[in-house]
A = this chain, B = another copy of it.
Amino acid sequence: MTDKMCITVATGSVDRLTGMAVLVSAAAAMDVEVEIFLQLWGVYAFKKDVINKNMNLIEFKELGPQVVEGMKRANIPPWFEMLKQAKEVGKVKIYACSAASKIWDVKLEDLEMVDEVMGAGEWLDKMKEAKINLFI
């Protein structure tokens, strides 16, 4: 049995998603199982027509150019690239909330990297089993 980290993702902003991706990358490298549940803006940010165009910051929008420059200098890939790599090397599953999927009128095939559409009840069962729970 491995440790497990469950992350509920309410945000769709790239600053917070980058923070999440850094934790998920570390977890994948350390063989910590990760499960991710996308809520409202989370589902939006994983839409195939949004994922690599979205530049939204949740705070300090005026510092966006400085962050972009700093990420280049520090050699940090975009959050979705980090997540893709984490899915390849580790145990990372991504679920979209069924209610949020209805709000955006999307199906599994409209979403990038998502493994399953899932209800909140099923997600809660997963959260109960996790060593680490985060809400992002």
Interface residues of A (CB under 8 A from B): 3, 5, 7-8, 10-13, 15-16, 18-19, 22-23, 25-27, 29-30, 32, 39-41, 44, 56, 58-60, 63, 67, 70-71, 73-74, 76, 97, 99, 102-105, 119-121, 123-125, 127-128, 130-136
Q: Which B residue sits closest to A135, measured CB to CB?
A: B134
- Residue pair A39, B19 in contact (C-beta under 8 Å): yes
- Residue on B with the closest CB to A11? B59
Give the residue of B10, B19, B26, B71 whose beta carbon is less than 8 angstroms from that of A124.
B26
- State A49–B13 Cα separation when bound (angstroms): 26
Question: Cα distance A127–B32 when bound, in Å?
Answer: 12
| Interchain CA distance A131-B131 in the complex, whole Å | 9
A15:B32 contact, CB within 8 angstroms: no
**A61: min CB distance to chain B, Å:** 10
Partner of A60, one of B5, B12, B132: B12
